[in-house]
Chain A
């Protein structure tokens, strides 16, 4: 691990200002992904700003009937919160489908959104990777691409976003709340939070330099049957090949987001009009832009079948 200087921030705005002023500064909260990458020297911050003691660890009702989740709420605590279990079961289910008990005890809400891809070529510092080293090339294109994206990818990068939680947040229309170095706050719909890889896959979100996530807020509960179904190579503690997060209403309408298929949770609102007609009808517009390799083409029928299982469960 490269050496770095360390400070403990005393307020969110101060942390944002400090991060914007110092080249190579990064926030650290749970650290479960950042330290992993620092050990491999894939992340090489020269300064760490510890945001763990900023008090952003509360879950509070909003005046609109929704829920405001502090950026530092640990994944375990979010999954176990009585209101989340009752009103946003999809989010609880997505959280406990990810990682291990130890990691969920440490990983935070904001850190989960910001985690990096698990593309093996991103992790192998000896291989070209445009996300790790802009302009060096993509080893996954033409390489082992079974895990990789089938939607939204570019000629520069076909990495997927690994989060389960973000898929639940996308289907639930979450808003990402931040503070910027000048002290101003903004709210970003999660639909607009992730940048497409394009020619710049190293730029993953719309966050500006120094901008700090302070909370993620959910609108009032959508009701319906809330289901998260994850398909992976083993029954626990593995990243998704494909996952479906869904809110399905009694009349068959609903909201659906996919995990394991793109650089972000994949949702096509127009496709949701087809949900009452079944998985085949809804999957077609969801996957309309898909581009596959020989190794990951299986993800398209897998999405349709996983969606069929989710719709059957919602009816049952």
Chain B
């Protein structure tokens, strides 16, 4: 379909033109964001983002609307991180940013310029899985597997949070270090929904790995 090719070409020209005009309006050199909105939104200027992904430096251009989740899946083709609700309710998109778990669907990629990001792909590989990945297999911590990468990223951070003394809703005494109990794990994992209902096996998998560490 030559017409389609023409259209794509002309759109690309339009985009590059808009990006060039945006450079002059940039506020800071790192946030190369874009021209003020004109009356006719002809094209979307892109922003440049550099980050460290699973230990590798990565750089890309994207529409500032792109969430970190969409940047990972659609731009960097790392589809281990899942899109469930896309509204911060299910936890399937959980990744580690600067060592902390967050919902990658509720943050813009452009806000993470310079950040270190770890996804499920950075934790282990089939021949050399992360201990939590092995424990999820051993304890049958999933059925369909869609929530699993989010569960595992979240669980890694949960063990870190307990170790760092971050209190939870079920911590009995705020002035004491939280303990590694099933009640603590259940409460802290409540932002990761599993519609197959593998919760008890997930808690067993995390408990085993936590015990091994202790």
Bound-state Cα–Cα, A47 to B101, Å: 27
Assess whether B190 is in contact with A36, with CB atoms less than 8 Å apart.
no
Assess whether B167 is in contact with A85, with CB atoms less than 8 Å apart.
yes
Q: How many residues of A contact B (CB 8 A)?
A: 42
Identify which of B27, B47, B67, B169 contacts A96 (C-beta below 8 A). Answer: B169
Bound-state Cα–Cα, A48 to B165, Å: 35
A contact residues around B190 at 8 Å (CB):
100-101, 236-237
Assess whether A80 is in contact with B166, with CB atoms less than 8 Å apart.
yes
Bound-state Cα–Cα, A277 to B28, Å: 60
Assess whether B191 is in contact with A102, with CB atoms less than 8 Å apart.
yes
B203: min CB distance to chain A, Å: 14
Whether A6 is near chain B, meaning CB under 8 Å from some CB there, is yes
B197: min CB distance to chain A, Å: 14
Binds B, one of A86-94, A249-257, A268-276, A307-315: A86-94
By secondary structure, the B interface counts as: loop
Whether A52 is near chain B, meaning CB under 8 Å from some CB there, is yes
Binds A, one of B6-14, B29-37, B136-144: B29-37
Give residues 182-208 of B contacting A (CB, 8 Å): 186-192
Bound-state Cα–Cα, A45 to B168, Å: 34
By secondary structure, the A interface counts as: mixed
Considering the complex, give the chain B residue whose CB is closest to the CB of A36: B87
Binds B, one of A27-35, A65-73, A215-223, A295-303: A27-35
Identify which of A1, A39, A102 contacts B154 (C-beta below 8 A). Answer: A102
B65: min CB distance to chain A, Å: 5
A contact residues around B33 at 8 Å (CB):
5-8
B contact residues around A8 at 8 Å (CB):
27-28, 30-31, 33
A contact residues around B107 at 8 Å (CB):
30-32, 35, 106
Assess whether B102 is in contact with A3, with CB atoms less than 8 Å apart.
no
Most buried by B among A28, A47, A92, A100: A100
A-B contact pairs, 21 of them (CB 8 A): A3-B63, A3-B65, A6-B33, A9-B27, A32-B103, A39-B87, A50-B31, A50-B111, A79-B166, A80-B164, A85-B167, A93-B174, A96-B171, A100-B91, A101-B101, A101-B154, A102-B88, A103-B191, A105-B101, A106-B102, A106-B107
4 A-B pairs besides A6-B110, A102-B94, A105-B102 with CB distance below 8 A are: A7-B28, A79-B167, A92-B167, A92-B174
